[in-house]
């Protein structure tokens, strides 16, 4: 992962990244948890700004700090990052779930992982989390301009492909329809989709939001040959932010994932 971090840092000071909308003083986050030992990874869009700032927008410091910044590493720009700085950035990634994780976000997905005896917080059967884009942004993803999102997806999925290629990941779990859509584009494929009645979300107008499950396999991502096929599973609801995602729905999604993953991670 050190090489990936180095490549990502080298891009952060180039002119085109200045207007990309990323938190430029925050380090890239290629993984949450130890991708070197995990066989299951969840996949999201990009890290939350709350990995770097509090509710008032102030940089996290001291014991509540989650990831490194220019300030914490005491360097004026990412071009000044040395191998020791890269080691420190990697350490915060691999040890993330044993320090100060953003539990408000991760515990909800971990509930799904627990259905097949896996957890972000486990040393025996650990999972890790990856993102299509390894950079936190100043504004929400949906508030970024189209060209900003496209550039970040292109840069991010190349790095993601390298990480997956060099990992032991066998199953990738996509969280939400936006992730599914963007990942299909990067993998140049279309996943099988089917309606899941037990995942439907109720709405006051009685139409509701149907639940959908996605299944497939990938062997390439943004031009990177992964060297093997990885099983890809997904659901259309964003577990953290979709209105009306009940415990019943989460349990049903977790049970489906357990059934689909059974025997694939030995």
- In the predicted model, what is the mean pLDDT of the chain? 93
* Percentage of the chain modeled with pLDDT above 90: 86
Percent of the chain with pLDDT over 70: 97
CB of 31 closer than 8 Å to CB of 37: no
Instruction: State mean pLDDT over 218-223.
Output: 95
In the predicted model, is pLDDT for residue 265 greater than 80? Answer: no
pLDDT digits (tens, 9 = 90+) for 151-162: 999 999 999 999
pLDDT band at 93 (very low <50, low <70, confident <90, very high): very high
Task: Yes or no: say if 79 and 210 are a contact pair by the CB < 8 Å rule.
Answer: no
* 14: pLDDT strictly greater than 80: yes
pLDDT band at 208 (very low <50, low <70, confident <90, very high): confident
| pLDDT above 70: residue 260 | yes
- pLDDT score recorded for residue 263: 66
67-96 average pLDDT score: 97
- SS3 letters for the chain? CHHHHHHHHHHCCCHHHCCCCECCCECCCCCECCCCCCCEEEEECCCCHHHCECCCCCECCHHHCCCCEHHHHCCCCHHHCCHHHHHHHHHHHHCHHHCCCCHHHHHHHHHHHHHHCCECCCCCCEEEEEECCCCCECCCHHHCCHHHHHHHHHHHHHHHHHHHHCCCCCEEEEECHHHHHHHHHHHCCCCEEEEEEEEEECCCCCCCEEEEEEEEEEEEECCEEEEEEEEEEEECCCCCCCCCCCHHHHHHHHHHHHHHHCCCCC
pLDDT tens across 171-195, in order?
999 999 999 999 999 999 999 999 9
Q: Which domains does the chain have, with CATH numbers?
A: 29-57+101-261 (3.40.470)
| Model confidence at 205: pLDDT above 80 | no
- Neighbouring residues of 86: CB distance < 8 A, sequence distance ≥ 6: 2, 5, 6, 9
Read off the pLDDT of residues 130-149 as tens digits, 9 standing for 90 and up: 999 999 999 999 999 999 99
Closest CA to 132 of 193, 169, 187, 85: 187
> Length of the chain in residues, anyone?
266
Averaged pLDDT, 64-85: 96
Split at pLDDT 50, 70, 90, the class of 203 is confident
């Amino acid at each position: 992962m050190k090489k990936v971090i180095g490549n990502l840092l080298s891009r952060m000071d180039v002119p085109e990244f200045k207007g990309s909308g990323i938190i430029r003083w925050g380090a890239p986050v290629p993984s949450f948890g130890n991708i070197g030992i995990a066989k299951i990874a969840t996949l999201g869009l990009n890290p939350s700004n709350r990995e770097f700032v509090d509710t008032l927008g102030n940089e996290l410091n001291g014991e509540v700090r989650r990831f490194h910044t220019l300030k914490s590493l005491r360097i004026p720009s990412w071009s000044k990052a040395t191998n020791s700085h890269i080691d420190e950035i990697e350490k915060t990634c691999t040890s993330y779930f044993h320090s100060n994780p953003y539990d408000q976000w991760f515990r909800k997905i971990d509930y799904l992982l627990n259905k097949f005896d896996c957890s972000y917080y486990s040393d025996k059967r650990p999972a890790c989390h990856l993102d299509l884009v390894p950079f936190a942004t100043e504004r929400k993803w949906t508030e970024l301009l189209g060209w900003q999102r496209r550039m970040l997806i292109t840069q991010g999925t190349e790095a993601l492909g390298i990480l997956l290629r060099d990992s032991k990941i066998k199953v990738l779990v996509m969280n939400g329809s936006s992730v599914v859509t963007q990942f299909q584009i990067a993998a140049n494929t279309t996943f099988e989709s089917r309606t899941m009645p037990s995942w439907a979300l109720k709405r006051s107008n009685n139409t509701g939001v149907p639940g959908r499950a996605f299944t497939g396999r990938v062997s390439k991502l943004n031009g990177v040959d992964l060297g093997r096929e990885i099983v890809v599973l997904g659901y259309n609801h964003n577990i953290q932010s979709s209105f009306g995602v009940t415990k019943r729905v989460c349990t049903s999604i977790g049970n489906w994932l357990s059934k689909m993953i059974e025997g694939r991670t030995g």
